[in-house]
Amino acid sequence: MKMEELRELSVEDLRENLKRFQNELFKLRIQAVQGRMTRPSEMAKTKRTIARIKTLLPEKELEQRSLGGEKK
């Protein structure tokens, strides 16, 4: 996902996507170890997306808290 797409999501959606991409990365790592990975570039793309989400999540949480809508 691109940063512009991620910026439109809520904090809850970002957390859900983070879990989904982490799960996908786990599956890709298993495929790599077993030698049946069909698209090696997917691992890099997934890692990049996880990094984007981890970068954006604290910003969104801070923004949400500053607006008075703190949710945990």
Q: Is the pLDDT of residue 71 over 80?
A: no
Would 72 be classed as within a structural domain?
A: no
Whole-structure pTM value: 0.85
The structure tokens listed for 14 are 């970002």
Would 15 be classed as within a structural domain?
A: yes
pLDDT tens profile 22-53:
999 999 999 999 999 888 899 999 999 999 99
Domain count, the chain: 1
DSSP code per residue over 2-13: -HHHHHTS-HHH
Would 32 be classed as within a structural domain?
A: yes
15: domain CATH number?
A: 1.10.287.310
Residues in Cβ contact with 37 at an 8 Å cutoff, skipping those fewer than 6 apart: 28, 31, 43
Instruction: Scan for tokens 């691109």, then name that residue.
Output: 2
Chain-centroid distance, C-alpha 52: 6
Containing structural domain, residue 21: 3-66
